[in-house]
Chains A and B, each alone.
Chain A
Amino acid sequence: MAHPPAADRSSRPTEASPGIPEPILLGMYRNIYATRRFELRCIELYRQGMIRGYLHPYLGEEAVAAGACAALRPQDYIASTHRGHGHCISKGADLRLMMAEITGKATGYCKGRGGSMHISSKQLNHLGANGIVGGGIPIATGAGMGIKVQQTDQVVIAFFSDGASNNGVFAESLNLAGIYQLPVIYLLENNHYAVSTPIECATGCCDLAGRGPAYGVPGICVDGNDAREVYRETLQAVARARRGEGPTLIEASTYRHGGHHVNDPGLYMNPETLAAWKDRDPLVLMRRALGDEAKIRAIEEQVEAELEAAVTFAAESPEPSVAEFLAGIQD
């Protein structure tokens, strides 16, 4: 198997969650579940023609964002990618404003101008999803510089995937953050593919975390399907960053549950490997870790209600006005 899930590589116990307070665990489960349900609904709406353009599901990778963002405070920043719904939800987004944006409505986070691939929120200190692979990495690095100049104790997470890690901006940014000891966590979501290109075909060395030490930046591997593990490691990296001890590279190993985007059936993915990863579905792992059925059900009911409200809000929202849009443009 080319891309074995973490459980096959380590004997680390996955059931116990020593040291993580219950509200954090419940919060991570909420974000994993909300992302899962939100995206499944988006896919339905896409099929019905309510969403156009690109839609890149984060299905299967939800624990990375949920775990990492659980280690942040609201005033911390994130920069996201084209596969950004999970980052956005885990940073605390209002599902109504997200759904309105993705369906192109005037009430959306970006007034219907951005769509799925460009959601940002000033209020959430979410610097934005990005249509350019790697585009968010230097921006996150710069946010770290801005924080350093302003001498606050905020931190930044740059989310990106394996494909972006082969772009020059990644190397340059790691080096820069290493020089200036910036409070940035580089969260490399290694889902093992860039579109259809497996990571082993895109680099001569698949030890992506190992690229950190080459620039004097600690590089850590985590099981990206286990939100608890992502949370623990991110928490440590965040603590170092707040103390002024500089950046960390975290490689979270995970897998897409389907193709690159909603119209890609992902036929190039090995069905057995995919099945093995699905056996370690981050949602199921987290549910098992929680154990408390009543609390789980309460969270799920709450999310379902929010999601319904989001779909209704988006459907009832107006489209952007063409006249207003044109009025703002100089001929």
Chain B
Amino acid sequence: MTDIMYREALRRALDEEMQRDPLVFIMGETIAERGGSYKVTEGLVKKYGPRRVVDTPIAEASFTGMAVGAALVGCRPVVEILFIDFAMLVMDQIVNQAAKYEFISGGQGKVPMVLRTQGGAGNGLAAQHSQSLEALFYHIPGLKVVMPATPHDACGLLKAAIRDDDPVIFIEHKLLYMTQGPIPDDEYVIPLGKADIKKPGRDATIITYSYMTLKCLEAAAALESEGISVEVVDLRTLTPLDKETILASVRRTGRAMVVHEACKRGGVGGDIAAMLMEEAYDDLDGPVVRVAGKNTPVPYNVRIEQACVPSVEDIVEGVLRML
């Protein structure tokens, strides 16, 4: 085990997969010499050259479409869209093209591409650089959606995403890049669609993902010291959703809360809550609670920005409300 940063873990995954498979190539804005805005791709152009580490102009819609095309002719492209906010410019290629191709071609063609992007508030970047938009992709049949919280998961899941034959939306969080965590020295892959119980507990289940996992673990630690034992389930992938792990945990604890940074309205939390109503109603000792981002664009000012996203206190309070 070695402690590395989230962004280094992502780099290791890209490096290992590019080494392993010459059909993997990466594309995005200033990802080559500059190593990307968050320094994930640093050094890769030296190792693999500009044929496989491609700097693009600011032409998101078209270079994402190029990834679809390259995937159709046999490559495994990984495109980087600097901010998930800019992924709104590529929705046709992702939603109408990549997500549909296999289906509408009657299974003739697959689109084994990964779109790496990054979301979340917290850096004062305001409304067009702070969004949490995973629900838009979660809603689309044909896409897989991955949102790792730790360096360990980031590396293992990115490798799985690259090897996967379907289009994968891989969403990082800007506040995670510099976080540290242990990862195995030997190569490993984490299969898509498997949640991880980050902390076992008896009294209630918190279902969460991405950066909020860290907040939930903090909240769980605070509650533990008051004798309340909370289980934290980190989904890691939203699609495919690991319903088995969620349901098993909720059946054990009898109480469920979903926590995410994205706006509550139309969020993944509402869908999971509905799924629990349909499939675990008899096991629930109370209503499913959602703790989520406020239904507003993210503002610039730090105080109102912080008020938009769930805090550790909000999560603790949510759990206390349930018990």
Contact = CB atoms under 8 A, between A and B. Distances in A.
B302 interface: yes
Contacts of A202: 57-58
Interface in A64-118: 104-105, 110, 112-115, 117-118
Contacts of A201: 55
Contact of A197 (B29, B127, B297): B29
A149 interface: no
Contacts of B60: 167
Chain A binding surface, main DSSP class: loop
Contact of A117 (B123, B128, B264): B128
Contacts of A135: 128
A54 B58 CA distance: 18
Nearest to A161: B58
Interface in B88-110: 89
Given A104-B300, A131-B129, A320-B299, A268 B33 contact: yes
A175 to B, nearest CB: 16
A115 B295 contact: no
B61 A168 contact: yes
Contacts of A54: 125, 129
Contact of A131 (B55, B62, B85): B85
Contacts of A132: 85-86, 89, 128
Contacts of A331: 264, 294-295
A166 B58 contact: yes
Task: Place the interface of chain A in its size category.
Answer: 35 or more
A294 interface: no
A122 to B, nearest CB: 18
B58 A163 contact: yes
Contact of A134 (B29, B58, B123, B126): B58
Interface string A280-292: 0000000000000
Contacts of B295: 329-331
A322 B300 contact: no
Contact of A115 (B89, B124, B303): B124
B248 interface: no
B301 interface: yes
Contact of B301 (A133, A134, A319, A326): A319
A197 B302 contact: no
Contact of A322 (B33, B58, B62, B303): B303
Interface string A137-164: 0000000000000000000000000011
Interface in B212-264: 264
B117 interface: no
A196 B57 contact: no
A268 to B, nearest CB: 7
A104 B302 contact: yes
A29 B127 CA distance: 34
A131 B123 CA distance: 14
A197 B57 contact: yes
Contacts of A105: 301
A195 B127 contact: no
Interface string A307-327: 000000000000110100110
Contact of B34 (A131, A133, A196, A329): A196
Chain B binding surface, main DSSP class: loop
Contact of A52 (B29, B57, B123, B297): B123
Contacts of B129: 53-54, 117, 131
B58 A118 contact: no
Task: Place the interface of chain B in its size category.
Answer: 20 to 34
Contacts of B302: 52, 104
Contacts of A203: 57
Contacts of A268: 33-34
B42 to A, nearest CB: 13
Contacts of B55: 197, 201
Contact of B307 (A53, A112, A114, A322): A322
A8 B42 CA distance: 36
B208 interface: no
A194 interface: yes
A118 B126 contact: yes
A113 B300 contact: yes
Given A104-B301, A197-B29, A113 B127 contact: yes
B41 interface: no
Contacts of A330: 295
A201 B295 CA distance: 41
B299 A112 contact: yes
Nearest to B128: A131
B296 A115 contact: no
A105 B58 CA distance: 32
Contacts of B30: 195-197
Contacts of B127: 113-114, 118, 131
A320 B303 contact: yes
B304 interface: yes
A195 B264 contact: no
A170 to B, nearest CB: 10
Nearest to B298: A113
Given A202-B58, A331-B294, 9 more contacts: A114-B299, A132-B86, A166-B57, A167-B60, A194-B29, A196-B30, A196-B34, A197-B55, A330-B295
7 contacts: A52-B124, A53-B300, A135-B128, A320-B299, A320-B301, A325-B304, A329-B296
